[in-house]
Amino acid sequence: MSSRRRIAVVGAGMAAARFAERYFALGGRARVTLYGSEPRAPYNRVLLADVLTGRYDAEAITLPVGDAELRPGAEVVALDLGARLLTLADGGTEAYDELVLATGANPVLPPVRGLRRADGRGLREGVHALRTLADCARLAEDAMDAKRAVVIGGGVLGVSAARALAALGPQVEIVHQGPHLIERQLDEEAAAALRDALRTLGVEVYLGNRARALTEAGEVELADGYRLSTDLTVLACGVRPRTALAHAAGLAVGRGVLVDDSLAASVSDAPLPDGSVPHVFAIGDCTEHAGVVHGLAGPAWEQADVLAARLSGADPEARYTGSRPLARLSAGPIEYAAYGEVHADAGTDVLQLTDATRGSYKKLVLRGERLVGAILLGDLATVGDLARALERDAALPEQPLHLLTQHLFTTTHGAL
């Protein structure tokens, strides 16, 4: 039997793949095994909407895992942290020296009547979540015969699903409870430009309205009583960290598995003096760090990179101190990137460019001479420069216009 150290990674999604790939790239020598409940190798979930439209096939979005051993279709059902053993759904047990939890998140089912089957098991026919390639395949099949589709939720996932469905043929409507689309990352103007762009693709958006029931006749009934007839319904109402395994093992769980800057988990009842449990770490959508649950690929990868640096020995003191909010959507003709603080306040200056003919909207938010947030919609030519400027976190050159490019109509507020 090999005497190499064994690192078990529970979950074989985006964070797990990134961890494994970086771990070996940094010269890590342990035996790394990825246990994943999905029946396939890790893939880039962010591109699922592009798989739905047929732009990519499933194989094309596979992620590299370095020299890790892959165990697809192997769900971990229990952990014995003391004995350092994990139990698989088939009853088998495996020993490890270090454990990395990367169990991701589950779609949230909104409180809408009539979503589930009569026997309460699973979603009713024609109702879909979109988290996995299997979801994607089912949705693509249903969309072929659908004339009308309703997407419940107008966040990143809802917009990206709506755009993909519209490309497949059905007439698509988004029902969104918030005041404007993607309100976590976009300001009102950007969201309005996005809504216009969606309209040109045939997607209608209902804002400030809640879906309350799916009727027997296959209509989505809104809180104001209005009914949208639909052949298929997609739920895009956010995600919830998958924490049941960690919780059952006695790890401290808030909204996600609680981790410190070393990404170590802690036990709920008898924390060690530093609060952490040796040998157990968590990364990605399942985690909560400093009160924040991200649910985005960027932070998941940053956490994976830090943990890979620590466990490979390349930088045993590496720390994860949080991620700047950063979101990027590439949905066919609809593209945007949003970073950091996108809402101006009394202490900020704003530089804004709007080009209605091109459907683009751009905004920089500055605090003093430092760039603290930005939105690009419809023209992402300067996205790399912007990301670097935010990363540097230093005073900007005198004229930051080049970060937006040189187009048409300019409005500035504040001291710029």
Ligand X SMILES: Cc1cc2nc3c(=O)[nH]c(=O)nc-3n(C[C@H](O)[C@H](O)[C@H](O)COP(=O)(O)OP(=O)(O)OC[C@H]3O[C@@H](n4cnc5c(N)ncnc54)[C@H](O)[C@@H]3O)c2cc1C
Q: What are the residues binding ligand X (CB under 6 A)?
A: 10-16, 35-38, 45-46, 48-49, 75-76, 102-105, 130-131, 156-157, 160, 242, 245, 284-286, 295-298, 300, 327, 329
Q: Give the residue with the Cβ less far from ligand X, 42 or 400.
A: 42
Q: Which residue is nearest to ligand X (CB)?
A: 13
Which is nearest to 235 in space by CA: 309, 154, 345?
154
In angstroms, give the least distance from the CB of 303 to ligand X: 9
Rounded Cα–Cα distance for residues 18 and 34 (Å): 11
Q: Give the β-pairing of 219-222 and 203-206.
A: unpaired
In angstroms, give the least distance from the CB of 285 to ligand X: 4
Q: Give the residue with the Cβ less far from ligand X, 264 or 286.
A: 286
Rounded Cα–Cα distance for residues 326 and 372 (Å): 11
In angstroms, give the least distance from the CB of 128 to ligand X: 11
Q: Give the residue with the Cβ less far from ligand X, 151 or 366.
A: 151
Rounded Cα–Cα distance for residues 77 and 86 (Å): 8
The angle formed by the CA atoms of residues 163, 169 and 175, to the nearest 5 degrees, is 45
Cβ neighbours for 241, distance < 8 A, ≥ 6 positions apart:
103, 104, 105, 255, 256, 257, 285, 286, 287, 288, 293, 295
Residue 61 DSSP class: G
Residue 302 DSSP class: H
Q: Give the residue with the Cβ less far from ligand X, 297 or 306.
A: 297
Q: Give the residue with the Cβ less far from ligand X, 131 or 195.
A: 131
Q: Give the residue with the Cβ less far from ligand X, 33 or 354.
A: 33
Q: Give the residue with the Cβ less far from ligand X, 264 or 351.
A: 264
In angstroms, give the least distance from the CB of 388 to ligand X: 19
In angstroms, give the least distance from the CB of 412 to ligand X: 30
β-strand partners of 367 = 370
Cβ neighbours for 118, distance < 8 A, ≥ 6 positions apart:
none
Q: Give the residue with the Cβ less far from ligand X, 127 or 351.
A: 127
In angstroms, give the least distance from the CB of 310 to ligand X: 18
In angstroms, give the least distance from the CB of 219 to ligand X: 25
In angstroms, give the least distance from the CB of 42 to ligand X: 7
Cβ neighbours for 355, distance < 8 A, ≥ 6 positions apart:
361, 378, 379, 407, 408, 409
Rounded Cα–Cα distance for residues 214 and 217 (Å): 8
Rounded Cα–Cα distance for residues 138 and 258 (Å): 34
The angle formed by the CA atoms of residues 23, 105 and 375, to the nearest 5 degrees, is 85
Cβ neighbours for 34, distance < 8 A, ≥ 6 positions apart:
9, 11, 12, 16, 17, 20, 42, 65, 68, 69, 70, 71
74 by Cβ neighbours in 10 Å (0-12 / 13-18 / 19+) ranks as buried
Q: Give the residue with the Cβ less far from ligand X, 252 or 331.
A: 331
In angstroms, give the least distance from the CB of 400 to ligand X: 25
